[in-house]
Structure formats: structure tokens, C-alpha cells
Chains A and B, each alone.
Chain A
Amino acid sequence: MAASLPLPVPQAFPLDAERADQLAQLVRGLDAPGLLWISGYAAGLAAAGLAAAAPATALPAADADAPWTATIVYGSQTGNGRRIAEALGDRLLARGVRVRVARAGEYAPKELARERRLFVVMSTHGDGDPPDDARPLTDFLFGRRASPLPALEFAVLALGDSSYPKYCEIGRRLDERLAELGARRVVDRIDCDVDYESQASDWQARVDAWIEQLPAEAAAPARVAVLRPVASAPASSRERPFAAEVLANQRITWGEGVRDVRHVELSLAGSGIRYEPGDSIGIVPVNPEATVAAVLAAARLDGTDTVERDGRQRTLAEWLATGLEITLVTRPLLAKFAERGPHAGLAALLQPGREAELRALMTEVQLADLLERYPVDWDAATLAGALRPLAPRLYSIASSAREVGDEVHLAAARIDTGGGSTRPGAATHFLAGRAEGATVPVFVEPNPRFRLPADDSRDVIMIGAGTGVAPYRAFLQERIARGARGRNWLLFGARHFARDFLYQLEWQRAQKRGALARIDLAFSRDAGHKAYVQQRIVEAGAALHDWLENGATIYVCGDATRMAPDVHAALAGAIAKHGGLPLESARERLDRLGADGRYLRDVY
């Protein structure tokens, strides 16, 4: 005898009668906070287990009997795309549209043929590459197997970084390809730069306008149809970060010639924040005082003028300290300098074909340097208007809650930009200055694409360079705490054995207790022994191939521009050599491993 649920449920209700009965009993008489808690709890369960365990089948496939009215697919490397997709999902839901939000890696391309409305939020990385887990979708769509999609209505939002030549390339190609396949574009694509917020909301508004003119959807509004594997945790968010107490803040590199890397331990006690190994922690920084002063001096402003922006009134100095980005230089900012002043050299640099020089400039200088180098008359409002909002910095979490309880650990490399003067980066400077007892505003950024295998008997191969080793500390802590039987193999690269072998003592301890089956090291600046981690992959190729054949998952974390492609090539080479495959087949094997969630990358 089924108890009835307090609200009508959609046709696609995923529970059988018995489960529905249990659910009805569970929610009966609960107040709003209780209901919200259950919602978040269920979402957390989904994030921790279902999605990671079997990404391709975690969500029920759309079919003719129970059509989803709209599907939002996102491909995201940093989380921006996911955030936009989820926000859109919420808005559509609020309008009574039945919607599902899926990351590209969990969306089966063959479903395209049955979709009626598809929104795509897609970022582009490096040299016109999609996010790793979006490859199966983009390969399918750009390939010859894609069939015509005459019944589909679609819209694409592209994300990218205009300092790269193939800016928003994947979003643009998807947009063109869907049209080419006969689908109907209902909203024009917008290409968003690194400061994506305002462009993304323009696109949202266009989508809203389009929804507005649609006939009302049949059946009841889908109030409980979406259980997103994220963000329901109300404990903290990028808008409302949690003030985490600093428990430890320790440099973990030694001497000269290596980066200042800090190991930071933060308390999450009382926050209710949960995280999984593989997730990132976002830090909302405060800009260095000296840098704020340098900006004001270079702009010849005293900072006391009140400026209104995004509906808030603050002095320019306050904006510069806590509201706006002054340590990162973006292409749009350079464009504004070029617009405002007679700086022909700068304008020329913004022309196509000079992206490399532009990027070099952007890594060298900060705002204060630009203000000195390209003098223009600024008033407070114009300067504030030219800058993008201060973005949180994301760090891979370096701890497992199973090991450290309600703490979270991270490793942050201090980044100093050159440009004659040496100016510290915002967050690392901020972190470096936080002594024990101070607080740091934080939130958790889930990264469901970078998870340990749900099956503890599986082996893992962890490849990382520099602070890219941080998530593996979390992985290893987690695997030890879980008593995972699968073997763990770390391949780590840094500059100097004696100076930046991050967490050396901990790897040694893990090795002694048998928790680290194998460790291979490469140091690129040690005289007489110079090597990069990809060379170790080549040398260990036979064992690596064995592990893979045995079902191991490969993780790669660290630098996206040099390390990740070199590691990718070395892995393909090892698979080809030891699997007796042509190189092209080995690459396809890697792509399949990626699609199957056994080759996971967190590169930046």
C-alpha cells in the first residue's frame, strides 16, 4: 500500500512503488530545513558514489515515453561552465521546464537523436581543446557518425580565454556543427572571455526571452526532478564563503631556485562543509596592500572616491583591495588600455598573430605595471569599470576528510609576476600572510571528473608535477583510511630532489607501510640526473601497461601547457610499445580510457 507523496511527481519519477512509499514516509511532517537537508544529502550521495562509479549510466536516458523537455550539457575544466549550466537549470526549472543538467562526460552522445532542446555550455582550453571529459561528445559530433538532428532546438554558450589563438574554438565549432546537422539555433552563441560573468548573463537573458515565448509545457512542473550532484550543500559557496581558521601555514620547499610552496591547513569545524578527494578549495583573496598602493600611485588616484559597481558603493581603494582583480592581466583589460590611450605598440600587440607575445606580456606584468607603462588619464569609476571582479583562486585539496576530520589541506605555490618589479600574486600572497589563528574565506569547488575509483580493489597511477601532487596526498590518505586493497603508484616530477620534493616524508612513510606500491621521481634541475616525469613513464612503460591491463585508473595533475601533453604522448607511446599497437590505436585507447573514466586529468 503506497503512501502518497505530498506533491505531484513527474512522469519520469525514478522510484518504484515501494521506494516511493518509503520516501513519502520519510518526508511526512518534515519542515523546510529538514527537506532541504535531505535534498542536499541525496545530492551528496550522488556526487560521491553514483556519478563517479558509472558516469555513462548515472542518469536515466531520455526516451520517447518520458521526454526531457530540455537538456543542459556542460563541458568545464575550472567549474565556470558547470556553474553557468546549473544556474540556467535552476531558472528553467523555476519556469516549469523539465530539465536535466549533465556534464559532458556523463552524457551519451547517442541520446542527441532524441533530444528536443539542448543547451550547451562549453569551454575551450589550450590549443583549441575541449575539456577532457567532453571529448567523447565532441568527437562524436565532429565525426562522421553524427546523424542529422532536424528536430533539435539548441543554443551554445562558449567559454574561453582571448589570449589564446583558438579562442572559444570548441564552442564555436559545436554551434556551427549542430546547425550543419539541421538543428535550429534558437539563441545566438556568445563567446565569453575569462571575465565571463556579464557575457554569460547576457546569454541567459536571451535564453529567458526565448523560453518566455514558448507555449506552456504539458503536465505538472518538475519540482523534484533534478538532483544535482553538487552545490546543494548550503554550507558555503563562492558568494558566501566560510571563514576557515588557519591551523598551519608552512613553507614546504627549501632554499633558492624553487617556488615558495605553502602547505596550508584550514579548519572547517562548524561549517558543515563536505568534500571529496579530487575536489578543489576556493580561496577568496584580499589583494596585497602594497599592490593596491602601487596601483593607486601609478593611476595618480588617491582611492577615496566612492565608486558604484554591481549595485554596491565602496571607495576605489576598497574595490581594489577586495573586489577587483589587480594582479591578473587579461586581454580585455589590455584592450581597454589600448582604447583609452595613444599606445600604438599595445594596439598592435592585440592584433591577430601576436598571441604569444601578448601572453608573455600578461604573465610578466600586473595592473600597476600597465598603468606605469601605458599612462592614460583614469578616474576612479573608469578604472574600477575596466577591471573584472576579483575571482577566487582554486587549489586542489590535499587531504582526505577521513584522515584529517574537519580540516582541509592545500598546497599553494607562490606566484610572483615579474615586469621589472616583483609583485606577488593575490591569493598566494594572501595565504602567505595568514598566520595560524587568522581566517581565510573558503568554499569547496566539487570536481566530480577527478575521483578515485569507487572500487577499492582497483589500482591507481597518479602522475603529477609540482603542486600537481596535492590531490594525490588526498587520494592516498583516502585509500589508506578506506583500507583500499588496490595498489597506488605515484610518478612525481619537480626541480630539485633536496628542495621541492613536496611531502617527501609522507610519501616515505606511505611507502614503508606498504600503502605506496611504487614511486618514480624525476627532477629537472639536478645536475647529472635531470629528468622530467614523462621520461619516467617511458622507462616504466612495461609496468604501466601491465597495471592498465589490470584495470588501473591513470590520473594526471599539474601544468596543462607542457606537462600534460608530454605525459599524454608518453602514455600513448608506452601503450603502443608494450601493447603492440600502432601509435594511433594507442591514442584511441587513451581516449577510450578517458571516456570510461580511467584516464582522468586535472590540469590548469
Chain B
Amino acid sequence: MGAASPSAVERIKAESRGLRGTIVESLADPVTGGIAEDDQHLLKFHGSYQQHDRDSAEARRQAKLEPAFSFMIRTRLPGGFCTPAQWLALDALATRHANGTLRLTSRQAFQLHGVLKGDLKRTIAAMNAALVDTIAACGDVNRNVLASPGPAASPAHAEAQAWAVKLSERLLPRTRAYHEIWLDGAKVAPAEEAEKILGANYLPRKFKAAIAVPPVNDVDIFAQDLGFIAIVEAGRLAGFNLTVGGGLGATHGDAKTYPRLADLVGFLTPDRMLAVAEAVVTTQRDFGDRGERKHARLKYTIADRGLDWFRAELERRLGFALEGPRPFKFTTTGDPFGWSEDAAGRWHLGLRIESGRVADVGDRRLRSGLARIAQVHRGHFRLTPNQNLVIADVEAGDRWRIDALVAGYGLDAYRRSRAIALESLACVALPTCPLAMAEAERYLPSVTAAIDALMEKHGLGGEPLLLRVSGCPNGCSRPYLAEVALVGKAPGRYNLHLGGGRDGRRLAPLYRENLDETAMLAVLDSLFAAWSAGRTPGEPFGDFLHRSGRLS
């Protein structure tokens, strides 16, 4: 990505003829494996990013070769709901056109990495043939809508999922560019595809929406631009509490940027959900900062103008006032693992997928194993916001079949893993993410082991600890909500954030800047000593740090 100025992106969108740009011409250009710079911005709206192998870029430049460009393709998959047939289709594409792995993202979507330009169209077309699209998976639009997959399906979870699909579809771009470019669809006059909600220039910045079902805050609702907290009364969905203005992205050394928790605004009944969502989106469309992309998320619009202004604008657009929020309680952001049974007698198996990477590595043959399971599984899959997977909706009589495959392919590591290794999150980062400043996914296993060893040393072995690693301050792995977060600053160096809440309602402030691993472990060593000595029974690390005043 070039250092395009924010206004440049607005210009590119405005001149894009409904997100078409010159993508078709770029795809046909044989001289480069990349696409034109303007098209790189537009391609995101179609669900793909141009990337390159950063490990080899400099050596290739010296060899007078361009970087090894490839493309990441991200699916739109509301609530992370996926059928076995879709899984198999994506698995086959990963082998045929990508790097042989699937990645489950922190937004419940799939990512394919390493797709070459010449294979991009056929890959996206094949996904659509399997009824998985990639529209608006990236770009200045509403991204994939999250919904709690639940430890076990409840009627409220099923409703949350249905609303996630409706919300996603309501906020989709209306342009037919996607169908023209990737699916050889008929050309349509731009007048017929007016963007009534998103606007001709689309949103000022990315926009994230989620639906949470308490008491599990797996979607990290307070990190979302738009959140709906399901209020379940007497076993049925009474409505939602609305949250607005969360967001974690920030820029190192720029005080105008910061992570922000969402505000709780009020309560609404389900029939008003789409209208409320539309009013929030159009308010941000009309008032969001289009001059400075680092200051363009909804959180800044609200922070700058005030929550009262926002509520008034919202209610003006809706024509009615929201009720006050109803009580709810979150207890955790984590996923449960292993089997659980729902009220209807169906079974669900939560599996840990470290960093969401579905690959065959040694005797942990996750990719092969899950493909085999997809061949026999008669229910569905749910991707979780913690990059994990639920094999959902299994009949009791089929459990043995799944169990045998899970054990045979080494998918049952969760049985033996420490708590710290079950909860962690890491973004992709190097070598493909163009934003990464340091390692994340590739660093997670070793840093987890090092921190686990320190905990063991202080008699804390096996205690839960929410660890998140991010290659840059933009926050794909939601680091600012973790108890211990490493935010990449430079190769081998991280900012250390500490003290997030285990319910996702408390941010982790910056504790030390620019540490290498040795310095970071030394800091944790002394804090773990204090935690071990001074904790109340079962007191989590983040809570202890706050109570003991170490973060003030």
C-alpha cells in the first residue's frame, strides 16, 4: 500500500464508478503480479487485499524483480456460519490457488492467503459457486457482522444469528461491480445501483457491527462501532441494548488516535433493529471525518461531538426515542472447548485453533482433519470471534465419528493445553500483512510458552491469562482489551499493554513502550511475583493490577 493521503482515498472512491475503477484492466496487466495503486483501495471493497511477501521483498528488489505479490481473500460470513459443503469448497480452493491453509479470523470469516493475481477471479468465482461471497469483507463499509456462536445453540443464539444475516445484507453495497468483475454478471447502469445507505462515496472508514448474547462477550461488543446486546427475557429475545462508538485502532505516537470502548445508548425491540442500524450508519456517513482517515471511525465522531449530540441525531433520524438500556451481565470473552449439549439434545464441539490457522503441521493435521470431518458432518460449523471453531449441531449418535477424527488428526490439543494457550489471539502480521511492524502469529507460540514458564515459576501455572499479540496498533486481534497485550512497534519490539478485563469491558492501558522480549519478560516477572503474593482467591491478573494500583 502506498502512503495515499486520506483525501486521495475519498477521491478514488468518488471516481470509482461504483467501486469498478480499473480493476479489470489491472487484472489483465501481464507485467506485474500486482494491481494499480488506486485499484488496491477499491479491491478491498470486493473482499481482497493486495499483499506481498515482506520476508523476500528487499532481496527480490535487488534481483530486479518486483515483490512476490499475492492476494488475501476474505469471506463475508455473518456470524461465522458455514456448511460442510462450503468448508470443503474453501479447503479445495486453499489447496489449489492459495498457500494450502485456511485462516479463521477474529471476525468469524475465512481468509485465503497467497492467491496469485491470475487466480484471483477464478477463486472468487468458485467461492460464490459455493454460496460464499466476499463483498464488503474489507473497505470503508460495514464488515462481516459478528454474532455469538454460543457454547450451545439456544433460541436466542439462533435469533441473534438470523439478525446478523439480515443486518449484513441490509448494509451491503448496492453496486453490481462485484458481479460484473468476478462473476461475469451483466453490466448495469450506475443509476440503478444508487447507494441509498452507504452513499456515493461509501463510509469514511471501516465500520464494524456485532451481536452479543450474554453472559458471553466473545464478540467483544465494546470494540465495535455498532453493537447489539441481546436481552433475553423469559427464554426469548426481548430486544437489544444498543452500543455505539467502540474501536481499537490507534497509531503509535499520535495522541489524536486511541482505542475507545463503546457507549451504551439504550434498548430497542427486534423489529426496530435494522432501522436503528441504518440510522447509526447514515449518521456516521454524513458526519464522519473524511479529511483524516486516522480520525474517521465513528468513535471519533462521537467523542468529538458528544454522546448527547449523537443520541439526538439518531432519534431525529428514527423519529422515536430509545428506551433506557436493560440489565445484562458479561462474565467472559473466551470460548468453551469440548462437547456441550443444547436444549434440543444436539451436540456442539468447541475446538481450539491457535491463531485461527487451519494447516497441517507435523502430527497436528488440522486442515486434513477438518476436511475429513466436513465430509461426514451433517450439521454445520461456526467460526468464533476468538479464531476458534465449533463443530455444531451433531446428533448424539454421530459424536463418536467426530471424536475419532478429532483425535486421529491431532485436533484435540485443547485437552492438554494450558489456559493461557486456549485464550490467546494473534493477527496474521508478517510476512504478508502490509501494516505489520512486528511478528504476531509466528511469534505467538514461543511467547506463550515463555509467559507460561514465568507463571509456573510463580506458582501460577494453569491460571487463565488473556494474552493477545498484534503486529501493529490497528488492533485486528483486539489487543487493548487483553490482560497482557503486545502491540508491534518494530521487529522484535512491542508496546506492553496490561490490565484489560476478562469481560471485555475494561481497556488495557499502555504500561511500557518498545520492549524487546527480555525486557518484557522481566516486567512480567516482577508483576507475576506481586500477583502471586497479593491476589485474592481466583483474582484475575488484570483485576489485580487495577486493585493494587499498579496501573495508575
Q: Which residues of A contact B (CB under 8 A)?
A: 250-254, 263, 497-498, 501-508, 511, 519-521, 526, 528-529
Majority SS at the chain B contact face: loop
B30-A505 in contact (CB<8A): no
Q: For B64, list chain A residues within 8 Å (CB).
A: 250, 252, 263, 502-506
Cα–Cα distance between A263 and B61 once the two chains are bound (Å):
13
Whether A508 contacts B31 in the complex (CB less than 8 A), given A250-B62, A252-B64, A498-B68, comes out as yes
B30-A520 in contact (CB<8A): yes
Q: List 17 A-B contacts (CB under 8 A).
A: A250-B64, A254-B56, A254-B60, A254-B68, A263-B64, A497-B33, A501-B65, A503-B64, A504-B64, A504-B65, A505-B61, A505-B64, A507-B31, A511-B31, A519-B30, A521-B31, A526-B118
Q: Ordered nearest first, which 6 A-B pairs have the shortest CB separation?
A: A252-B63, A521-B30, A505-B64, A252-B64, A504-B65, A503-B64
Q: For A506, list chain B residues within 8 Å (CB).
A: 64
Tell me how far the C-beta of B450 lies from the nearest C-beta in chain A, rounded to whole angstroms.
33
Cβ of B32 < 8 Å from any Cβ of A? yes
Chain A, Cβ-Cβ closest to B119: A528
A529-B118 in contact (CB<8A): yes
Among candidates B56, B66, B119, residue contacting A508 with C-beta atoms closer than 8 Å: B66
Tell me how far the C-beta of A256 lies from the nearest C-beta in chain B, rounded to whole angstroms.
13
Among candidates A263, A508, A520, A528, residue contacting B32 with C-beta atoms closer than 8 Å: A508
Besides A250-B62, A497-B33, A521-B30, 5 other A-B contacts (C-beta < 8 A): A254-B63, A498-B116, A508-B31, A519-B30, A526-B118
Interface string of B60-77 (1 = CB under 8 A from A): 111111101000000000
Q: For A254, list chain B residues within 8 Å (CB).
A: 56, 60, 63, 65, 68
Interface size on B, residues (CB 8 A): 16
Tell me how far the C-beta of B227 lies from the nearest C-beta in chain A, rounded to whole angstroms.
43
Interface centre among B30, B33, B62 (most CB of A within 10 A): B30
Interface centre among B61, B116, B119 (most CB of A within 10 A): B116
Q: Which residues of B contact A (CB under 8 A)?
A: 30-33, 56, 60-66, 68, 116, 118-119
Cα–Cα distance between A528 and B115 once the two chains are bound (Å):
13
Cα–Cα distance between A106 and B284 once the two chains are bound (Å):
77
Q: For B118, list chain A residues within 8 Å (CB).
A: 526, 528-529
Q: For B61, list chain A residues within 8 Å (CB).
A: 505
Tell me how far the C-beta of A122 lies from the nearest C-beta in chain B, rounded to whole angstroms.
39
Tell me how far the C-beta of B513 lies from the nearest C-beta in chain A, rounded to whole angstroms.
37
Tell me how far the C-beta of B533 lies from the nearest C-beta in chain A, rounded to whole angstroms.
54
Chain B, Cβ-Cβ closest to A507: B31
Q: For B31, list chain A residues within 8 Å (CB).
A: 504, 507-508, 511, 519, 521
Q: For B62, list chain A residues within 8 Å (CB).
A: 250
Cα–Cα distance between A503 and B65 once the two chains are bound (Å):
7
Q: For B116, list chain A residues within 8 Å (CB).
A: 498
A505-B66 in contact (CB<8A): yes
Tell me how far the C-beta of A323 lies from the nearest C-beta in chain B, rounded to whole angstroms.
35
Tell me how far the C-beta of B285 lies from the nearest C-beta in chain A, rounded to whole angstroms.
36
Q: For A526, list chain B residues within 8 Å (CB).
A: 118
Tell me how far the C-beta of A264 lies from the nearest C-beta in chain B, rounded to whole angstroms.
13
B66-A504 in contact (CB<8A): yes
A498-B33 in contact (CB<8A): yes
Cα–Cα distance between A505 and B119 once the two chains are bound (Å):
22
Cα–Cα distance between A377 and B363 once the two chains are bound (Å):
57
Chain B, Cβ-Cβ closest to A497: B33
Tell me how far the C-beta of B136 lies from the nearest C-beta in chain A, rounded to whole angstroms.
29
Tell me how far the C-beta of A349 lies from the nearest C-beta in chain B, rounded to whole angstroms.
41
Q: For B66, list chain A residues within 8 Å (CB).
A: 504-505, 508
Q: For A519, list chain B residues within 8 Å (CB).
A: 30-31
Cα–Cα distance between A250 and B61 once the two chains are bound (Å):
11
Chain B, Cβ-Cβ closest to A529: B118
Chain B, Cβ-Cβ closest to A519: B31
Tell me how far the C-beta of A398 lies from the nearest C-beta in chain B, rounded to whole angstroms.
11
Cα–Cα distance between A507 and B64 once the two chains are bound (Å):
10
Tell me how far the C-beta of B70 lies from the nearest C-beta in chain A, rounded to whole angstroms.
9
Cα–Cα distance between A253 and B64 once the two chains are bound (Å):
9
Cα–Cα distance between A503 and B31 once the two chains are bound (Å):
11
Cα–Cα distance between A497 and B63 once the two chains are bound (Å):
14
A250-B63 in contact (CB<8A): yes
Cα–Cα distance between A519 and B66 once the two chains are bound (Å):
16
Cα–Cα distance between A505 and B60 once the two chains are bound (Å):
10
Chain A, Cβ-Cβ closest to B68: A498
Tell me how far the C-beta of B36 lies from the nearest C-beta in chain A, rounded to whole angstroms.
11
Cα–Cα distance between A306 and B175 once the two chains are bound (Å):
84
Chain A, Cβ-Cβ closest to B32: A508
Q: For A508, list chain B residues within 8 Å (CB).
A: 31-32, 66
Chain A, Cβ-Cβ closest to B30: A521
Chain B, Cβ-Cβ closest to A516: B31
Tell me how far the C-beta of B471 lies from the nearest C-beta in chain A, rounded to whole angstroms.
24
Cα–Cα distance between A356 and B63 once the two chains are bound (Å):
37
Cα–Cα distance between A526 and B117 once the two chains are bound (Å):
13
Q: For A501, list chain B residues within 8 Å (CB).
A: 65
Tell me how far the C-beta of A509 lies from the nearest C-beta in chain B, rounded to whole angstroms.
10
Q: For B119, list chain A residues within 8 Å (CB).
A: 528
Cα–Cα distance between A520 and B116 once the two chains are bound (Å):
19
Q: For B32, list chain A residues within 8 Å (CB).
A: 508
Cα–Cα distance between A284 and B65 once the two chains are bound (Å):
29
Q: For A502, list chain B residues within 8 Å (CB).
A: 64
Chain B, Cβ-Cβ closest to A526: B118
Interface centre among B32, B62, B65 (most CB of A within 10 A): B65
Interface centre among A505, A506, A520, A526 (most CB of B within 10 A): A505
Cα–Cα distance between A561 and B68 once the two chains are bound (Å):
32
Q: For A263, list chain B residues within 8 Å (CB).
A: 64
Cα–Cα distance between A505 and B69 once the two chains are bound (Å):
13
A253-B63 in contact (CB<8A): yes
Tell me how far the C-beta of B121 lies from the nearest C-beta in chain A, rounded to whole angstroms.
12
Cα–Cα distance between A269 and B118 once the two chains are bound (Å):
45
Q: For B33, list chain A residues within 8 Å (CB).
A: 497-498
Cα–Cα distance between A505 and B61 once the two chains are bound (Å):
8
Cα–Cα distance between A251 and B59 once the two chains are bound (Å):
10
Tell me how far the C-beta of B30 lies from the nearest C-beta in chain A, rounded to whole angstroms.
5
Cα–Cα distance between A252 and B116 once the two chains are bound (Å):
21
Chain B, Cβ-Cβ closest to A500: B65
Cα–Cα distance between A507 and B66 once the two chains are bound (Å):
11
Cα–Cα distance between A505 and B65 once the two chains are bound (Å):
6
Chain B, Cβ-Cβ closest to A523: B30
Chain A, Cβ-Cβ closest to B59: A254
Cα–Cα distance between A508 and B30 once the two chains are bound (Å):
10
Tell me how far the C-beta of A17 lies from the nearest C-beta in chain B, rounded to whole angstroms.
55
Q: For A253, list chain B residues within 8 Å (CB).
A: 63
Tell me how far the C-beta of A477 lies from the nearest C-beta in chain B, rounded to whole angstroms.
14
Q: For A505, list chain B residues within 8 Å (CB).
A: 61, 64-66
Cα–Cα distance between A278 and B403 once the two chains are bound (Å):
70
Tell me how far the C-beta of A262 lies from the nearest C-beta in chain B, rounded to whole angstroms.
10
Tell me how far the C-beta of A125 lies from the nearest C-beta in chain B, rounded to whole angstroms.
32
B30-A252 in contact (CB<8A): no
Tell me how far the C-beta of B544 lies from the nearest C-beta in chain A, rounded to whole angstroms.
51
Chain A, Cβ-Cβ closest to B56: A254
Cα–Cα distance between A497 and B31 once the two chains are bound (Å):
9
Cα–Cα distance between A521 and B64 once the two chains are bound (Å):
17
Cα–Cα distance between A163 and B33 once the two chains are bound (Å):
43
Cα–Cα distance between A289 and B409 once the two chains are bound (Å):
52
Chain B, Cβ-Cβ closest to A251: B63
Q: For A251, list chain B residues within 8 Å (CB).
A: 63
Tell me how far the C-beta of A404 lies from the nearest C-beta in chain B, rounded to whole angstroms.
14
Cα–Cα distance between A521 and B28 once the two chains are bound (Å):
12
Tell me how far the C-beta of B316 lies from the nearest C-beta in chain A, rounded to whole angstroms.
50
Tell me how far the C-beta of B63 lies from the nearest C-beta in chain A, rounded to whole angstroms.
5
Chain B, Cβ-Cβ closest to A506: B64
Cα–Cα distance between A501 and B61 once the two chains are bound (Å):
12
Tell me how far the C-beta of A308 lies from the nearest C-beta in chain B, rounded to whole angstroms.
46
Tell me how far the C-beta of B208 lies from the nearest C-beta in chain A, rounded to whole angstroms.
35
Interface centre among A250, A502, A504, A519 (most CB of B within 10 A): A504
Chain A, Cβ-Cβ closest to B118: A529
Tell me how far the C-beta of B488 lies from the nearest C-beta in chain A, rounded to whole angstroms.
27
Q: For A507, list chain B residues within 8 Å (CB).
A: 31
Chain B, Cβ-Cβ closest to A498: B68
Tell me how far the C-beta of B124 lies from the nearest C-beta in chain A, rounded to whole angstroms.
16
